[in-house]
Structure 1
C-alpha cells in the first residue's frame, strides 16, 4: 500500500491573482485543507493549500508559492496527495480507492477474472474497472457487498460475484 493517497486535484486558475480551482476527492470536501501539506505524486512538490471559498465543483484556494494566473494554470491537472498517516483510519468495510487499484479479482469459484485498473464514481455507487485476465478488455463491476463480498488487502485480492451480464459471454465449446 502506498503511503500517499490522492485527495484532490488542481483544476487550474481561478481569477487573475494566482488563486486556484481545487477539486476535492474527500468524503467531506472541506477536509482537503486539513490534510495540508499535500504532495505531488513523486513528492517533488509540496503544497500548503488554504481554501478561500466554495465555488461550483470545488473550492477557490491559495498556495503561497503561486502568485499569478499563469503559475496557477501551469499546475492544472496536478493530483494532490496526502500522507496516509494524516488521514482517518477507516472501518473494516471501507477502503481508500488507492488501496483497491492493482488487486487481483477472482470469482466465487476461485477463477481468476483480472485486476482492478481503476475505481470510478459517476454519482451513484463506486465501480471497479477490472481489466480481464489475458485481455485488453475492461468491465465495470459494482463495488457493492453483493457483487464484491470479500476484499482482502493483505492477500492483494478481491472475491467477486459479478452480476449477470457484467462479463463478456464465454464460449461453451
Structure 2
C-alpha cells in the first residue's frame, strides 16, 4: 500500500490572481482542505491549499505558492496527494482506489483473470479497469458487491464474478446462417 492517496486535482486557473480550480475526490468534497499540506505524486512539491468558495465541478482555491494566473495555468492536471495517516480509516467494505490498483483478480473458481490497472468513475459506480491475463486487452469490471464479492488487501487479491459479456470469449462460437445459400 502506498503512503500517499490522491484526494483531488487542479483543473486550471480561476480568475487572474493565481487562484486555481480544484476538483476534490473526497467523500465529503470540502475535506480536501483539511488534509493540507498536499503533495505532488513524486513528493517533489508541497501545496498549502485554502478553499475560497464552491464553483461548478469543484472549488476555487488559493495555493500559497502560486501568485499569477500563468503559474496557476501551469498546474492544470496536477494531482494532489495526502498522507495516508491524515485520512480517516474506512469501514471494512470501503477501499481507497490506490489500494485496489495492482491487485490480482481471480474468478470464483480460482482462475487468474488479470490485474487491476486503474479505478475509474464516470458518474455512476466505480469501474475496475482490469489488464487481462496473458493478453494486451483491458476490460472494465463493475465494482459492485455482485461483481466483486471479495477484496482481500492482505493477500493482494480480488475474487470476481463478472457479469456476462464482460470477459472476452475464449472459444468463439461459429456463426451459422444462410448467407451462402445453404
TM bucket, shorter chain:
over 0.9
What is residue 95 of structure 2 aligned with on the other side? 95
1:133 deviates by 0.6
1:170 deviates by 1.3
1:135 deviates by 1.1
User: Partners of 1:59 and 1:11 in 2: how far apart?
Assistant: 10
Please tell me the root mean square deviation across aligned C-alpha atoms, in Å: 1.0
User: Partners of 1:165 and 1:103 in 2: how far apart?
Assistant: 22
User: Partners of 1:70 and 1:123 in 2: how far apart?
Assistant: 31
- SS of the equivalent of 2:29 reads coil
Establish whether residue 35 from structure 1 lines up as the match of residue 38 from structure 2. no
Establish whether residue 142 from structure 1 lines up as the match of residue 142 from structure 2. yes
Q: What stretches of structure 1 of length at least 5 have no aligned partner?
A: none
Q: Where do residues 65-144 of structure 1 align in structure 2 (5 Å cutoff)?
A: 65-144=65-144
1:12 deviates by 1.1
1:172 deviates by 6.9
What is residue 45 of structure 1 aligned with on the other side? 45
User: Partners of 1:15 and 1:68 in 2: how far apart?
Assistant: 9
TM-score normalized with structure 2 length = 0.93
User: Partners of 2:44 and 2:127 in 1: how far apart?
Assistant: 31
- SS of the equivalent of 1:72 reads helix
1:134 deviates by 1.2
Number of aligned positions between the proteins: 173
Establish whether residue 19 from structure 1 lines up as the match of residue 8 from structure 2. no
User: Partners of 1:160 and 1:34 in 2: how far apart?
Assistant: 35
1:123 deviates by 1.2
1:23 deviates by 0.6
What is residue 179 of structure 2 aligned with on the other side? none
User: Partners of 1:172 and 1:19 in 2: how far apart?
Assistant: 55
- SS of the equivalent of 1:30 reads helix
Runs of 4+ in 1 over 4 A off after TM superposition: none
User: Partners of 1:108 and 1:54 in 2: how far apart?
Assistant: 44
Q: What stretches of structure 2 of length at least 5 have no aligned partner?
A: 174-182
